[in-house]
Amino acid sequence: MSLNLEIELAGIRMDNPLMLASGILGICPSLIRRVAAAGAGAVVTKSIGLNAREGFPNPTVHIIKYYGLLNAMGLPNPGVDEVLKEFEGQKFSVPVIYSIYGSSPEEYSNVAKKLLKLNPVAFELNLSCPHVREVGSMVGQDPEMVYKVVNLVKSSVNVPVFAKLSPNVTDILEIASAAVKAGVDGIVAINTVKAMAIDVDLRKPLLGNIYGGLSGPAIKPIAIKIVYDLFENFKVPIVGVGGVCDWRDAVEFFLAGAWAIQIGSGILWRGVNIFGEVLNGLRRYMLENGFKCVEEMVGAGHR
Ligand SMILES: Cc1cc2nc3c(=O)[nH]c(=O)nc-3n(C[C@H](O)[C@H](O)[C@H](O)COP(=O)(O)O)c2cc1C
């Protein structure tokens, strides 16, 4: 039986449905190439803003045994102009999606317009960074703001726009609905889950920012439920992200309704070879279960 791992996501052709999640490996052309060589079908950059940001004080990352990763980076990034200098003229073998953030619809749109110079295949709007008070969290928790951001970016650029949702809201379907009404081309779910840890010896919070976002295996069931609900309610393509560490996790996301999946913290435990490992497992699963292409798996876990 012939097997086709290629997918088309909002018009973007990818050799396979595995993507690098935003932020895990920073912003740097050589890292993008490394991840592409390891088997990723597409790459999302770390979130880029209008101006440079240093991020939060250390410690910014804490590993919770077996469960996940707690981080409060504070969106450190060199700012869009520096990114333009570093990326101009660079060529990549996989589609590169630029993740952007801002404190207002205008700021999102300005960053996107500047990045058009790099011929991005798409933008991913980080609406949801849970630990930067003055940017993402405000936007991603307010359906009206989400509508305005998506609407303005969509009318400013001529490439697909994805909205990346935060799970830190009361009703995620209301937020997704605002993005869909504004014409979003796809939904990425989910960003990290608000969390913290306390050092019992020092009797102090472990992160410099006190609290941060949890990623990794602990959040996978939360992400699966959200992808499942999004699939039941909307027609736009969904990209699943949260806790993918092996091929079984990936398959679970497809069955829940994801067209593609992103891998983030899993790289910490398994290295960039995780892309090849998940792809091999996915191929085997598809052959053994009679799936000829990824599309046939999407949503197959729904009754
Ligand atoms: C260290 C770190 C940095 C991150 N930076 C970003 C970021 O810049 N923009 C963004 O949208 N998500 C960011 N995320 C969230 C991830 O892209 C992803 O949504 C989340 O970690 C869940 O996936 P995972 O469990 O596979 O890591 C970051 C996550 C981590 C752990």
Q: What is the mean pLDDT of the chain?
A: 93
* pLDDT tens track for 1-31: 678 999 999 999 999 999 999 998 877 899 9
Please choose from 124, 192, 194, 226 the residue to mutate so as to test ligand 1's pocket, defined by most ligand atoms within 8 A of CB. 192
| Strand residue runs (E) in the chain | 7-9, 12-14, 18-20, 42-44, 61-64, 68-71, 96-100, 122-126, 161-165, 186-189, 193-195, 198-199, 204-205, 212-215, 238-241, 260-263
- In the set 28, 129, 245, 293, the catalytic residue is 129
The two beta strands, 42-44 and 122-126, are: unpaired
Please tell me the residue having the least CA distance from ligand 1 atom 30. Answer: 24
Q: What is the pLDDT of residues 141-198, one digit of tens each?
A: 999 999 999 999 999 999 999 999 999 999 999 999 999 999 999 999 999 999 999 9
- Best probe residue, ligand 1, of 20, 22, 100, 227 (max atoms within 8 Å of C-beta): 22
Give the residue, by CA position, lying nearest to ligand 1 atom 3: 23
pLDDT of the residue at 302 = 97
- Predicted pLDDT of residue 131: 34
Is the bond preceding residue 274 a cis peptide, omega within 30 degrees? no
Rounded to the nearest whole angstrom, what is the distance from the C-alpha of residue 1 to the centroid of ligand 1? 36
Q: 293 is written with which tokens?
A: 């292409």
Q: Which of 46, 71, 78, 73 is nearest to 57 (CA)?
A: 73
Catalytic site residue 129?
yes
Other Cβ atoms within 10 Å of 65 Cβ, number: 5
Q: Looking at residue 55, what is its pLDDT?
A: 82
Domains in the chain, start-ordered, CATH in brackets? 7-49+77-163+171-190+217-297 (3.20.20.70)
Q: Which of 235, 213, 264 is nearest to 99 (CA)?
A: 264
Q: Which residues line ligand 1 (CB under 6 A)?
A: 21-24, 46-47, 61, 69, 71, 73, 75, 99, 126, 164, 191-192, 215-216, 219, 241-244, 263-266
Q: How far is the CA of 265 from the centre of ligand 1 (A)?
A: 7
Closest ligand 1 atom to residue 47 Cα is: 8
Question: In the prediction, which pLDDT does 138 show?
Answer: 65
Here the contacts of 26-33 (C-beta below 8 Å, separation 24 or greater) are 27/77, 27/78, 27/83, 27/86, 28/86, 29/86, 29/87, 29/90, 29/92, 32/92, 32/94, 32/96, 33/92, 33/93
Quote the tokens at residue 201. 């010896």
Helices (H) and strands (E) in the chain, counts: 11, 16
Tokens found for residue 161: 């726009």
pLDDT in tens, 227-244: 999 999 999 999 999 999
- State pLDDT tens for residues 255-283: 999 999 999 999 988 999 999 999 999 99
Q: Beta strands 18-20 and 161-165: pairing type?
A: unpaired
